[in-house]
Amino acid sequence: MPHSTTRTWPGWQRPALALLMLGGASAARAQVAPPPNMALMGPDPTATAYQGPRYPGGPDSLHAAVRRYLRAASPTLTGELFLRLELENTGRSRQAYFLPPPPGSPAIALYISPEAQNLAQQLVQRLLPWQLPNRQPGQVYGAQGPGVTIVLNFGPEPSPAVRAYADENPTFSVVPLPVFARSKGTVPRNLAEFFNRQIRYPYEDLRRRRGGTVFAYFEVSEQGTVEQRRIVGTVSPTLDAEVLRVLQRLPSALTPPRYQGRPTRVSYVLPMSFSP
């Protein structure tokens, strides 16, 4: 779908585009009946088990630890920041940083606040080691991960409450299928394919060889509705807008996230890496 700021590239010429936290997968045929589901991650579109890093005691324990430190903040600090943790093989943070808010965001003042930076450093030092997904003997993680993103809400706690992860991920419908008609009749099996097939690298960013990682945020409610779609880690206005455009196409979930067997609201932060 080329337009004035984008370019469609042949497969051998397309710039690299990767969704860091979600692995790619082989595609399913569109003719399968009933219409196929799309998983949050992994090659099996029916698989829902969460396979990312887990905090000891679960997401509620993580929430309590974060709130304990944020209560020490000055009452003049209000707003929302996103703290990215890149983990070592031990589960401890090897690197921690705030995601840069988009231009004009009210979170910029909070982002550059020394007090917010100091509180984040204290929090990182006192968090327990994360429990990492099972690996094969001798397998190590690459330089890019694994990573987790923690939402820091300074000031009053938002309502409704949102968990950082759940035991079961949501699954999504891949209809309307015509969106993927140019992919030889195939449909995406997970969010990695959903984004990779629709995102078009903006021409201006390609021309200027501008790349980096855009972080997109959304919540899935107990009913499966996708809400609060926005960019929380910026690269450029045009790259941000392209990621948000595709995120707006994500349909409501067929099955909601579940924690201890019950539907729950969960937030997701998807890092999407662009390399010209």
* Same domain? 37 vs 172: yes
260 within a domain of the structure (yes/no): yes
Among residues 103, 120, 154, which one ends one of the domains? 154
Q: What pLDDT score was predicted for residue 175?
A: 57
- CA 100-106-112 angle, 5° bins: 50
pLDDT > 70: percent of the chain: 79
Mean pLDDT of the chain: 81
48 within a domain of the structure (yes/no): no
* 31 band by pLDDT with thresholds 50, 70 and 90: very low
* Same domain? 182 vs 86: no
pTM metric for this prediction: 0.81
Q: What pLDDT score was predicted for residue 44?
A: 77
Q: What pLDDT score was predicted for residue 187?
A: 72
Please tell me the distance from the alpha carbon of residue 166 to that of residue 190, in angstroms, as a whole number. Answer: 18
Contacts of the segment 174-180: beta carbons below 8 A, 24+ positions apart: 174/35, 174/36, 174/37, 174/38, 175/35, 175/251, 177/30, 177/35, 179/249, 180/30
| Joined tokens for residue 207 | 């021309």
* Same domain? 70 vs 98: yes
Alpha carbon of 139 to those of 89, 133, 158, 240: distances in Å? Answer: 10, 11, 39, 34
* Same domain? 33 vs 94: no
Q: What is the CATH number of the domain that holds 32?
A: 3.30.1150
Domain coverage including residue 116: 59-132+141-154
Q: What pLDDT score was predicted for residue 189?
A: 79
Q: Which residue has the higher pLDDT, 268 or 7?
A: 268
Q: Is the pLDDT of residue 82 over 60?
A: yes
- Convert the pLDDT of each residue in 195-229 to its tens digit: 888 899 999 999 999 999 999 999 999 999 999 99
